Structure formats: structure tokens, C-alpha cells
Amino acid sequence: MTRLVLVLGDQLTPDVAALRAADKARDVVVMAEVGEEGRYVPHHPKKIALILSAMRHFAQELERDGWSVAYTRLDDPENAGTITGELLRRAEEHGATDVIATRPGEWRLVAALDGLPIPVQMHEDDRFVCSHREFEAWAEGRKQLRMEYFYRQMRRKTGLMMDGDSPVGGKWNFDHDNRKPAQDDMLRAAPMQFTPDAITGDVLDLVEARFGQHFGQLRQFWFAVTREQARRALDHFARHLLAGFGDYQDAMLRGDRFLHHSVLSPYLNIGLLSPLEICERVEREWRAGRVPINAAEGYIRQVIGWREYMRGIYFREGPDYPRRNALNHQRALPGLYWGGETGMECLKRAVEQTGAEGYAHHIQRLMVTGNFALLAGVNPTELHEWYLAVYADAFEWVEAPNTVGMSQFADGGIVGSKPYVSSGNYIDKMSDYCGACAYSVKKKTGQGACPFNLLYWHFLLRHRERFEKNPRMAQMYRTWDRMHEDKRETVISEADDFLDRLNRGEPV
């Protein structure tokens, strides 16, 4: 009897669990471009194009490899519009009675497959270093789920950057060597870019017609869309950019959108690359003496540490996680996140490059757009939907814990032991934004004072009860209490005025 083998747009890996469990001789692979997936949040056109083009290329590879593939294009008149609708249609067409699937990376799709009226054989997605069971075992009985300890376990498990039982260089973490500001450098390489082929060209026309009104620019489109291209992008990163990754991973420059970042997450998250192949390549560069230890360790920590940890949290916490709101923040997402006018150079730049590339690096997401939303008390679910929509690498299992947990503290402190908030000083130290800003980062109050400076105190006061006993924040409350009363009043009333302007939708 024929079975259907579901391959989703982020499962484009030749040995993904469902394909391993299937029989090429009798089963039919189902792949479907469906409107629902493109619209449940208004995804960036580049992200939609990346996924559709990579799906079409992958389907061709499967067919070359001898699989029969039932592929539904977005503009197919028979298209049922949803993944489950397509599975039912194909089941009837092929007389199939069962579905073989790899567990989706999103609760919404897990529930949709669970609700199918035909039996679904669900296989764990084992393209990760840590299984759900292993994460549960690690988390069990711990008061706090700190990434650093999880990361050490992953280092021991994989043997990456290990000398026997000990970390190479005698330390698990070389972060103190990192976090340097960067200078403009005309010679710095950019991520590898690819010219669209005919398949991608068709996809771009389709996406333009169907999703052209979504936030973000479709062209220039230069992402890798095959495994072979993604491997070349990895090779290019390892050779030309990795060496500076550690030093400059927190830096931001107006003239350089990527600095030493790899821009590999879009490929990794749809299955064109695997976490271990990336990390093994990075370790090889270090063992060959071509990159410093802080670059290699720092990079590997992001992939087998943060990325795996975030996935563990998402599935451990359950389907309601993206809607948590521990700080009860209710402000609507300001229009500037969709490109509305602002004089705040840091936000303007981060949003502008997000629109242009479907990409911003970690510190732009965390300390610019995330920090501002947290200080301004933006509703975390609205913010989560924004991040999910606008980044080419955004899939809920990794985006939600980063946004709701790490960036907004909306999970009440599961991911972070304290909120990631800062005044304008941090942005000034790590970037060249402030020099070009309509506001002055040096001004704490008065006309033209940096809004981050005002809102920082406003945030701390709003949540005094929750945070003043946190040992890592107590000092800030002491500083506030020592401030002259007049100054405190001015800070709060100017912050209130600023927030009122945001509420009224005025440009800020």
C-alpha cells in the first residue's frame, strides 16, 4: 500500500527522518507550496522566495534520486491551500492510507497533523545535536536552565573543541576576548551571494505577484537555494570571515550589514546545512591555526549551545509559550518597525536592513529592536509575530524563545536571568549609529535626549518590585535612588511624553 511522505519547507535534508523511514519503490513524497504558510504572518518576500525555491530544487533532487514526488505549486488551481488539505487530496489521488512525517518545528503544524483523519507516523526530527528526551533529562530537577551548562554538555557529547574530557584552551568560554567595536573596512568580505537561476526566477515572479505587498524587498535576491550552494557559502565564511567573528560579533556599523556574521541560519534552519557539519568545519579552521580560539569557540557556542537550547525550551514549554507576557506589556508595535519614520538612527538602520535583506544580526535584534520594544513596553506577542515575519531564518521553534524569552523576558526568566535592557551607551559603544542620529546619546534629559536613556529608567521603575532584588540589577536601583529628585521627575515625565507620542502614532 502506498504511503505519503511529508517533506515540509524546512525539512530539505536528503536523510530527514521521514525519508529514511520511507520506501522509494512504493511511497510518494508530498511537498506543497501553500498560501496558509506564506500568510499566517506576513512573511518577508525574500523568506518566501528562499523557501519556495529551495523546495523546488530539493524536489528535483529527490526525483533524480528515484523518488516519486507529488509537488504542488502555489499557483496550481487544485491547491488546497493548507498542508493538511494537500495531504488529504494526495491521499485520495494515490489511494494512500498512511502519512510518514518528520515532527514539524512548530506547535501549530504538530496540532494540524495530529488532527488529520488518516494515521500519521510521526518521526522525531533528529537533525539536531540534542533530542527532546535528552533536553528533558538535562532540565529535570534544575532550578534554572542556564545555557552555559547545557552548552558544556553538548561540547562533551559532540567532542567539539575538546581535549579528552577538558575544553581546549582550558576554558569553556572565551567571551571576554570578544565584543570589540568595529571599524569600516573596505576589504572585509561579504557573505557569498548567488545569482538566481531559472527556477528561482520563476519563484521571484510568483512571490512578487502574490506577496509583493508584504514588508521587505524581494530583489536583489542572492540567497543560496541548494545544498551545494549553501556548502559554498559555509566554505566562504570559514575562509574569509570566521577569524573576526569572536572579536566583532557584537559590533554594528552603518556601512556594513553583515560584518563577520555567517548568514548561515537561513540555510541551517531549512535543512540545507547541518549543525555538526558547520561546527566541524569551524573547528578544523581553528585546529589548522587559521582562526583564533575565541572565534571558533564563540561560533560553535551559538550553534550547539544557543540554537539547541532554544529548541529545547520551545518544546519543553509548550504551545502557549509565544503568547506569554510576564511583564504585562500591552503597547501596540510602533509603526517604525514596519518602516515608519523615525529619527532614531539605530532603529532606522536595523529596520531598513531588515527590509532590504530579511536579515539583521543578533545584536541588532537583541539590543536595538528588542531592547527598544522591551523598554517601551510593547506587547511581546505582537513583537514575536514581527520577528517571525521579517527574518529569512525565522521559524517559531527558534524565533519565539529568542524573542519572548531572551529579548522580552516575557517568559518570566526561563531563558534569561535578567532582562536585556540598556540605555543608549551600549549602542554607542558598539556601533557608529549615534553620531548620525537626530538624538544625542550623551543627553540624559531635555530636548534631543536619546530615548533609550529615558526609557531605560522608566522600565526599571515600572518593574521595580520584580527586579530590585535581582543581584545583577540592584546597583541600577541604587543609582536611581541617589539621583536628585528633580532629575528623576524630569526623566519620568519626558519618558511618558515620548511614550504618548508613540501611542498617538507620531514619528519619534
**Nine cell digits for residue 423:** 540605555
Q: How far is CA 320 from CA 83, 106, 107, 323, in A?
A: 22, 11, 9, 6
CB neighbourhood size of 137 (10 A): 12
- 393 contacts which partner out of ligand SF4, ligand FAD, none, CB within 5 to 8 A by kind? ligand FAD
Least distance CB 390 / ligand SF4 (angstroms): 19
**Nine cell digits for residue 74:** 502555489
* 135-143, 249-257, 448-456, 458-466 -> range binding ligand SF4 (CB under 6 A): 448-456
**Nine cell digits for residue 187:** 576589504
Q: Which of 211, 286, 387, 433 binds ligand FAD (CB under 6 A)?
A: 387
Q: Which of 371, 379, 402, 423 binds ligand FAD (CB under 6 A)?
A: 402
Least distance CB 317 / ligand SF4 (angstroms): 32
Should residue 158 be labelled a site residue for ligand FAD when binding is judged by CB under 6 A?
no
Least distance CB 426 / ligand SF4 (angstroms): 8
CB 245 within 8 A of CB 261: yes
Should residue 433 be labelled a site residue for ligand SF4 when binding is judged by CB under 6 A?
yes
CB 250 within 8 A of CB 179: yes
User: Between residue 464 and residue 493, which ones bind ligand SF4 under the rule CB under 6 A?
Assistant: none
What angle (nearest 5°) sits at the alpha carbon of residue 49, between those of residues 44 and 53?
160
What is the total count of residues that contact ligand FAD (CB under 6 A)? 28
CB 468 within 8 A of CB 477: yes
At which residue does the C-alpha cell 489521488 appear? 93
Burial zone of 298 (CB within 10 Å; 0-12 exposed, 13-18 middle, 19+ buried)? buried
Helical axes 308-317 vs 147-158, angle rounded to 10°: 120
User: Between residue 290 and residue 349, which ones bind ligand SF4 under the rule CB under 6 A?
Assistant: 344-346
Nearer to ligand FAD, 18 or 390 (CB): 390
Show the site string, 440-459: x = touches ligand FAD by CB under 6 A, - = not. --------------------
Should residue 394 be labelled a site residue for ligand FAD when binding is judged by CB under 6 A?
yes
**Nine cell digits for residue 492:** 519620568
CA 128 to chain centre: 16
Least distance CB 137 / ligand SF4 (angstroms): 43
Whole-angstrom distance, CA of residue 218 vs CA of residue 211: 9
Nearer to ligand FAD, 153 or 265 (CB): 265
Should residue 449 be labelled a site residue for ligand SF4 when binding is judged by CB under 6 A?
no
At which residue does the C-alpha cell 513524497 appear? 29
Residues within the interface to ligand FAD (CB under 6 A): 261-265, 268-269, 299, 302-303, 306-307, 310, 361-362, 365-366, 370, 387, 391, 393-394, 398-399, 402-403, 406-407
Residues within the interface to ligand SF4 (CB under 6 A): 344-346, 424, 427-428, 433-434, 437, 439, 441, 450-452
